[in-house]
A = this chain, B = another copy of it.
Amino acid sequence: MERPFIVKPGDSISLNGVGKGCDLERTPEYTGAYRKKGETKKPLKKLNKQMLKLQELLYAENQHALLIILQGMDTCGKDGTIRKVMAGINVQGCDVVSFKVPSVDEVSRDFLWRAHKAVPQKGKIGIFNRSHYEDVLVVRVHDLVPKSVWKQRYQQINDFEKMLVENGTVVLKFFLHISKDEQKERLESRINDPSKHWKITEADIRERAYWDDYMQAYEAVLQKCSTDWAPWYIIPANKKWYRNLVITERIVKTLEGLDMKFPKPTSDVSILSVD
């Protein structure tokens, strides 16, 4: 399932459903061979179990870290993805970092400083809920820094991620792709359900006016920062159950690909005896 979702360097991306680069598989409502939620339940459960085993091996081997970056528009399902994809995982081996509006301490440094501080240790899975990519997304859309500054950042991000990969961190980047209509429905369902009011602010709705600008900014990210060492995946995310399946499968396949082994003990443990 790597294809058709991976973005290859040089791919031309159109997120609004028109033009070159807009294959069916890259539309938000795509669900592959699946028609409804029930059909993905069993394969997802199996993948969750595999992931737990692979996570233990990752921890035991202590040679790699896995960094998962989640990006997408408001309501695209970053939180839900973390909840469902990581269901049943050992919390001790997984750190989630949410990138909010930067603090004074953070804006006083380069934009990669806080991201670098937050990368996972070897043996662990780290999840970035939003990330350093906000510095070429919200920052670009709202002109928070001059263009001359943000346009250098694509290359800086690629270099930074290359360094991480060369030092043992595997990087997976998922763009949770929902349609503008789907966002409308999700925002409305939050407005109509008082128990969800705490999840929503007027700002969320105001931000929606910039939809097209965001799509443009995301297209730039996907085209400039999907590298051989740290690829982006465009995840069809209108259907939560399909989104969860695709992402979980990708993580499992990636961990399997590391061909990890339980490490040998430093001393010959088998001759030890316990008093």
Contact = CB atoms under 8 A, between A and B. Distances in A.
A116 B262 CA distance: 34
A79 interface: yes
A274 B187 CA distance: 7
A90 B83 contact: yes
A94 B95 CA distance: 8
Chain A, interface size category, equals 35 or more
B270 A191 contact: yes
A144 interface: no
Interface stretch (A13-21, A155-163, A192-200, A237-245): A192-200
A42 interface: no
A127 B187 CA distance: 34
A201 B267 contact: yes
A264 interface: yes
6 contacts: A79-B92, A191-B272, A197-B269, A198-B263, A202-B267, A205-B272
Q: Return the 8 tightest CB-CB contacts between A and B, nearest first.
A: A197-B265, A92-B96, A197-B269, A187-B274, A86-B91, A82-B92, A83-B90, A198-B263
